[in-house]
Amino acid sequence: MRKVDPERQSLVDALRGFALLGILVVNIASFSSTYYGVGVPDPMAQSALERAALLVRTLVFETKFYLLFSFLFGYSFTLQMRAAERDGKPFAPRLLRRLGALWVIGLLHAVVLYHGDILTTYAVLGAVLLMLRRRSDVFLARCAVGLVLATALLWAGMGYLWALAGIPQDTMRNAYGEAAAALGAYRGTPATVIVQHLRELSQIWWVTGLVQAPTALAMFFAGFIAGRRGLFANADAHRALFRRLLFWGLAVGLPGALVYAFPSIRLDNAVRELYGLAATLLTAPLLAAAYASGLVLLMQTPRGHVLEGLLAPAGRMALTNYLMQSLVCAWLFLAYGLRWIGTVGPLAATAIAFVIFAAQLVLSRWWMSRFVYGPVEWLLRAFTNLALPAMRRRR
């Protein structure tokens, strides 16, 4: 049995580091192309190789990793509750300060760097979890299942209504015009980038509210239940559960991912895309559970311990790394720096994501060997506890 820090669990940090990779692979698609998510084919994704890379990204990464990150947020919620109890401090005021700071950081992130920010959503959903933290596991589990089912049914119903109503003939032409206008803004100046971010934030809030927010909240609840039961604190004792999650997660999640992936890369039928979205919203939580379970089982092996050691430092400073990913991508692709947006296809963008993440693994290992917290984590902790924590590690 490995020793467990009551406030830090290396396995949880490693899973969080793994989730960072998937989030970056998806987010870099928005940075590299204004055609991402607008419903029309990307001119840079026409060759067979580029379309294969697009398929892999859609099938393996999209709609899964933010769910894993959300699950870990809920799990860490229980660790923060225990930390407050050990310190003899009231938990609710401490967490509300943390969520308020997270919301401010997310707002700045969304306006300046990346309009697809998730931190503001997490801050709001964290307040919901705070209000329900004393409810039973059964109640929270029912809420989680209900949120997933309701969201999937909503988008399936929208697909059905769209099929009945018919699709306007000028939809594709409008989407191409919007993508071209966004490309000009992102290649313009830092000011035009910010204006474009504000424009897109005003347009996509409903997607966040009807897709990401309810499913993320469901995973908050699932992670909170797992944290109450110490799922990762003694992973060896739950091998059978992880094996079942791996099997059923792949058995159910992969077909749903396929139903989502093929219409999403063809972009020739909006109704099928909506049905595909409904399918992945319904099954992606299970596939995310399979990813996590497979990684946990792997990390119980000698070679897996090495992987855990590589990923955990990045997960310990996950907020810093998340923001750093956006900062690097904004410099590479937007008017803040090289203006690569619209010049690389899905294959190159995914390769760049892996290079950035590899650099983060090295930098995180170096930083965490010298400091207790990541830079942004230190600031967030200082505001949360209203006290300056020690930064450097004691030799």
pLDDT tens track for 75-131:
999 988 888 888 788 889 999 999 999 999 999 999 999 999 999 999 999 999 999
User: Which pLDDT value is given to residue 163?
Assistant: 83
Is there a domain that residue 295 lies in? Answer: yes
Asked whether residue 395 is domain-assigned, the answer is no
Residue 8 lies in a domain: no
Residue 185 CA to residue 10 CA, distance in Å, equals 42
Q: How many helices (DSSP H) and strands (DSSP E) are in the chain?
A: 15, 0
Give the per-residue pLDDT at 98: 94
- pLDDT for the residue numbered 72: 95
Task: Quickly tell me which residue has 């997270």 as its tokens.
Answer: 102
Q: Is residue 393 part of a domain?
A: no
State which residues form the domain around 137.
14-385
pLDDT at 268: 67
Residue 227: what pLDDT? Answer: 93
pLDDT score of 37? 82
Closest CA relative to residue 18, chosen from 252, 248, 309: 309
Does residue 392 belong to any structural domain of this protein?
no
- Residues 123-152 as b/e (b if ≥16 CB within 10 A, e otherwise) read bebbbebbeebeeeeeebeebbeebbeebb
The one-character DSSP state at 339 is -
Q: What is the pLDDT of residue 395?
A: 64
- Residues 6 or more apart whose CB falls under 8 angstroms from that of 281 comprise 63, 148, 151, 152, 155, 211, 215
Q: Let me know if residue 85 belongs to a domain.
A: yes
In a domain, 391, yes or no: no
Look at the chain and report how many structural domains it folds into.
1
Can you list the residues of the chain whose pLDDT is less than 50? Answer: 1-7, 169
Burial of residue 306 (CB within 10 Å: 0-12, 13-18, 19+) is exposed
How buried is 232 (Cβ within 10 angstroms: 0-12 exposed, 13-18 middle, 19+ buried)? buried
pLDDT at 204: 82
Q: What's the first-to-final CA gap in the chain, in angstroms?
A: 26
Q: pTM here?
A: 0.93
- Give the contacts of 377 (CB within 8 A, at least 6 positions apart): 316, 317, 319, 320
Q: What are phi and psi of 17, to 5 degrees?
A: -65, -40
Q: Is residue 362 part of a domain?
A: yes
